[in-house]
Structure 1
Amino acid sequence: MTAGFEHILNWRLLAGSHPFPGPDGGTCINEAAIVAAGLPYRAIRASADCPPCFSRPLSAYALGLNDAMPDAERPRLMAFVLRLSGSADTDEVEAERTAFLARESVRRILPPLLDRAGMADLAARCEAASGLPAALAAARAAAWRGGNVAQGASLRRAWLQGALASAVARTATAAVQAAGEPRAAAEVAEGAAPFLPEAWALAAAILDEALRIGRQAPGIDLLRARDRLDAARAVRA
């Protein structure tokens, strides 16, 4: 895929599900991917609503990011519009993708947040986690300490420290949950973002690499995809 092509698709991503693309091309990432692939349009409220050819963990993560990202950050996801349809793979590959999303959220997003919270030892432990069990153990330790620090800060009325520690506890807990529910991995970036401006870029990089695991979506001609998106928008113009 050519980097920087996104403007050619001339489409606007919005949070939430939509009955049909409006005149401004407003849909979520998965709905846009359906239109671009030439599949019958459907509203997507959860990854289970996606066509069977969409990878469930990857579409769940993409949907979570789509709904959590601020408007200024959401265009990052346009780079993935042509990569979701046809990405579904075997149960083993989908499990590998789910593990990757959880592990890399711990290894990449939690460490800089933990550093900002003064928990450098846990940041190093998360970054060094080489497998999912080690990553989840590190995330559980971070969630426990973040909760304790937040409670102590509240008693001292140290509001900024408490907010940061609460973010640590919330994001670390989401990372643990992501091992079983891929959409929770998006909550890691969402919880870190107020204190970590690069969180959304890190999350997009994780999605990019997860899409390289297993079956790749078949190539979709860029201009044909644009024409399909334009046609869908024209219906509502």
Structure 2
Amino acid sequence: MTGFDTGFDHILNWRLLAGSHPFPGPDGGTCINEAALVAAGLPYRAIRSSDDCPPCFSRPLGAYALGLNDAMPDGERHRLMAFVLRLSGSADAPPVEAERTAFLARESIRRLLPPLLARAGLHGRAAACADAADLAAALAAARSAAWHGGARAEAAAGRRAWVAGALAAAVARTATAALRAADDPRCAAEIAEGAAPFAPGTWARAVDILDAALLIGRRAPDIDRVAARDRLDAARALAHA
């Protein structure tokens, strides 16, 4: 096994936790952005929002990653460790950050909403979201989905059809979050959070969206994986001291 593999495989054993933690957290864990700080050798700081990230972190990418980190179940959160070396140094010019924000919103609507809508029987709305050619079309499709979900939830409540009503309410709530994602990338993660209980594979698709967004604009510089491993190990050792 090469040094590259040894370092990275070891990094994947770091434990990610929801929320921010006194450093280092229980079992040496942190959220994804805090782990990225430690791995890059930057001074630790508690990160409760993307505004807490250092300037070298892309704000939209950090916000989306943090939203996924806090929403994912413990059994899924490990997927984010693949990005621990890719956040520090990803900040770019405002037009690029705006492009990333638009991408996260559009692709979350196109890829995460349709399975939820199809599960609720809103196949036409699902197709409209999946086929959206740009952000404006995606937002229009999400707005229609939110309206139809709300109407179905209200009708189900009148019939006391609680299961159908819960699904329709999830559609309305998740599609409404999608409308805010154009301004707040963390709301794109709320789309994943709303869809995941009803649509298997949501978290894997959400992580794929983050992977693609990281290919837009400036890439994080290479961080020596062995050095990153050693920094994380030192933090874990401190937690048990």
TM-score, scaled relative to structure 2: 0.95
Residue 26 in structure 1 maps to residue 26 in structure 2 = no
Q: CA deviation at 1:160?
A: 1.2
Q: CA deviation at 1:7?
A: 4.0
1:109–1:189 contact (8 Å) kept in structure 2:
yes
Partner amino acid, structure 2, of 1:138? A
Q: CA deviation at 1:171?
A: 0.9
Residue 234 in structure 1 maps to residue 220 in structure 2 = no
2:28–2:237 contact (8 Å) kept in structure 1:
no
Match of 1:44 in 2: 47
- In 2 relative to 1, CA 108–204 (structure 1 residues): closer, same or farther, beyond 3 Å? same
Instruction: Show structure 1 runs of 5+ residues with no match.
Output: none
Equivalents in 1 of 2:171, 2:201: separation in Å? 16
- In 2 relative to 1, CA 82–135 (structure 1 residues): closer, same or farther, beyond 3 Å? same
Residue 85 in structure 1 maps to residue 112 in structure 2 = no
Alignment of 1:54-203 (within 5 A): 54-203=57-206
1:53–1:88 contact (8 Å) kept in structure 2:
yes
1:18-40 residue CA offsets vs partner (Å, 9 max, x unmatched): 12013622100000000000000
1:95-119 residue CA offsets vs partner (Å, 9 max, x unmatched): 0000001000110011111111111
Which ranges of 4 or more aligned residues in structure 1 deviate by more than 3 Å?
Answer: 2-7
Equivalents in 1 of 2:122, 2:238: separation in Å? 53
Q: Single out whichever of 4-13 and 172-181 deviates more from structure 2.
A: 4-13
Equivalents in 2 of 1:6, 1:71: separation in Å? 21
* Superposed CA RMSD: 1.5
1:163-202 residue CA offsets vs partner (Å, 9 max, x unmatched): 1111111111111100001100010000111101211111
Provide the aligned length of Structure 1 versus Structure 2.
Answer: 236
- In 2 relative to 1, CA 47–85 (structure 1 residues): closer, same or farther, beyond 3 Å? same
- In 2 relative to 1, CA 5–160 (structure 1 residues): closer, same or farther, beyond 3 Å? farther
1:6–1:78 contact (8 Å) kept in structure 2:
no
Percentage of matched positions with identical amino acids: 73
1:23–1:234 contact (8 Å) kept in structure 2:
no
